[in-house]
Amino acid sequence: MIGARVRGLREEKGISLSALARLAGVGKATLSGLENGTRNPTLETLYAVTAQLGVPLTAVLAEPAAAPTVHGAAVHATVLEVFTDADATYELYRMRVSPGTGQLSPAHQPGVTEHVTVFSGVLRAGPADAPSTAAAGGYLRWDSDVPHSYAAVGDEEVTASLLLRYPRR
């Protein structure tokens, strides 16, 4: 599954397995085995690869505790970073919302807030009974202790960053 993430990131960059192996200074056999999950890579190997992909190691490591990716009818989100401090835990996602049907998410714990900055497209999101709208460069924030919705306005896919803040209990 970490192999799938590496492969996904690589294909997103439009670069071949051979080229990435060359750039990262690892054997093609190594990278092939890593992507296919038939090897158990060392940190050194994994770091060489992720560094060339321009992402932190954490971007490809599955977190059993927190939901690494959130899938839904319209929303696809991948974790960029998880951060914990004395007061709260933060999860930073890269989010895509497909045009068409929206998506409804159930309520989180009280105190949880969501913060969205829109990269491209127009997003309508927030509490299910009172969503707001933001275009590229815009920002939305809401308390997510009630059911909330996400939807792309128009027929363009929305790209955004989503920050989830879980206060310490």
Nearer to a second copy, 21 or 46 (CB): 46
In the bound complex, what is the minimum distance in angstroms from residue 130's beta carbon to a second copy?
A: 19
* Contacts with DNA, residue ranges (CB under 7 A): 16-19, 25-30, 32-36, 39-42, 44-45
In the bound complex, what is the minimum distance in angstroms from residue 120's beta carbon to DNA?
A: 27
Query: One symbol per residue from 114 to 133: x for binding a second copy (CB under 8 A), - otherwise; what is it?
Result: -x-x-xx-------------
In the bound complex, what is the minimum distance in angstroms from residue 21's beta carbon to DNA?
A: 8
Beta pairing, strands 158-167 & 88-97:
antiparallel
For 108, the token pair is 């989180």
**What are the distances in angstroms from CA 159 to CA 36, 134, 137?**
28, 12, 11
Give the contacts of 60 (CB within 8 A, at least 6 positions apart): 2, 5, 6, 9, 46, 50
Nearer to a second copy, 107 or 156 (CB): 156
